[in-house]
A and B are shown apart, each in its own frame.
Chain A
Amino acid sequence: MSQIKSLADLRKKREEIKAEMDTRIKAIDPENHVQIKVAMATCGIAAGAKEIMEFFVEQLDRRNIQGVVTQTGCMGYCYAEPTVEITLPGREPVVYGFVDLKRADQIIEKYIKEGELIDGIIPVNYETIDSKE
């Protein structure tokens, strides 16, 4: 298809993809998926949180990792933005600060894949924004 302009084009492209590949229905296994939350308040966005979030969404897919990427408001670590909270299945959430593309890549390869803690963790008596507001 040359150009996608309408919803019909979108649907047509979906159908082409389905026919091409085996249907990759990504049913998320709740026991086994990684949760990634990117802090998206003023400070986070100014520090590049949008690019970091796009990177995680893209790379989890590309590297075949089951995960959900969502956002939170300000987690209160403005000095360390962009910050990202990672929850591995069955583990406590961990917050990484100063996440640039390089660190995001390390987080995926080392922490998410291997469960190995890497530099840049923000030590906290952890509270999410939801519990603070």
Chain B
Amino acid sequence: MITLALNILDIVQNSISAMATEIAVEVTESAAVDLMKITVKDNGRGMSQDLLSRVTDPFVTTRKTRRIGLGIPLLKYHANLAGGDLEIQSGEGIGTTLSATLKLQHPDRQPLGDLAGMMTILMTANPGIDFLYTHKTDMGEYCFSSREVMEYLGITDFSDVSLLTDIREMMNNNLEDIGASGFNGE
């Protein structure tokens, strides 16, 4: 993966496979403490303690289509490379919370990438899932909820392409306002 946004997109696929109906993505970046933190929280089926203890091993997957799982090990690798780590909490029937921490200014930290594009593609492809996106910086906080947008506009899916373009622009404008590094694909 070239960007963290693609890593996150992949991690969110695990939540979708786990039948989550609510998925919250949170990105925090603080230059003051040289920290970037990425959290993906879902209300999906969760993992057993046994699976949880083995899941950062690339040879662990519950899929039958391919014998190795790569999503979580890959994000862990990128976190480690940037002086950070990955942590997962999960309970069967409760859901899963995965957090990656990275040193914001580490030279080997991947760029965040196209966060707004990642969110809009997820919303288009999964109209039945509520996506929450929060981005925090030293300057402020921006919060976006796909369900709130649906209710506000009185729509039931995100198939309108011009609306998607506008949502992307709205997110990018707000991210720019709080000095986020992941707006407009930067």
Residues of A within 8 A of B (CB): 3-7, 9-11, 13-14, 17, 26, 28, 38, 40-43, 45-46, 50, 53-54, 57-58, 61-62, 68-71, 73-76, 78, 129, 132-133
Chain B neighbourhood of A62, CB < 8 A: 161
- A45, B117: Cβ atoms under 8 Å? no
In this complex, the interface size class of chain B, counting residues with CB under 8 Å from chain A, is 35 or more
From B6-14, B22-30, B78-86, B131-139, the one touching the partner chain is B6-14
Partner of A6, one of B69, B118, B124, B170: B170
- A7, B148: Cβ atoms under 8 Å? yes
B51 at the binding interface (Cβ < 8 Å): no
Partner of A57, one of B161, B166, B173, B177: B161
Bound CA–CA A5/B176 (angstroms): 11
Partner of A45, one of B1, B65, B153, B166: B1
B17, B126, B149, B163 interface centre (most CB from chain A within 10 Å): B17
Bound CA–CA A27/B167 (angstroms): 21
Chain A neighbourhood of B124, CB < 8 A: 53, 57, 69
Given A4-B166, A14-B153, A45-B6, A71:B126 Cβ within 8 A = yes
Q: List residues of B (41-55) whose CB comes within 8 Å of A's CBs.
A: none
- A45, B9: Cβ atoms under 8 Å? yes
Complex: chain B residue closest to A1, CB-CB:
B166
- A71, B125: Cβ atoms under 8 Å? yes
Partner of B169, one of A4, A26, A75: A4
Chain B neighbourhood of A75, CB < 8 A: 65
Given A3-B173, A42-B70, A50:B9 Cβ within 8 A = yes
Secondary structure call for the B interface: helix
Bound CA–CA A7/B167 (angstroms): 9
Bound CA–CA A4/B165 (angstroms): 11
- A46, B1: Cβ atoms under 8 Å? yes
Given A4-B170, A5-B170, A40-B9, A53:B162 Cβ within 8 A = no
Bound CA–CA A129/B19 (angstroms): 13
Bound CA–CA A26/B13 (angstroms): 28
B16 at the binding interface (Cβ < 8 Å): yes
Bound CA–CA A50/B7 (angstroms): 12
- A133, B173: Cβ atoms under 8 Å? no
Partner of B163, one of A10, A53, A69, A71: A10
> 15 interchain pairs (CB within 8 A)?
A4-B170, A5-B170, A5-B173, A5-B174, A7-B149, A10-B167, A41-B13, A50-B117, A50-B121, A54-B121, A57-B121, A70-B125, A70-B126, A76-B65, A133-B63
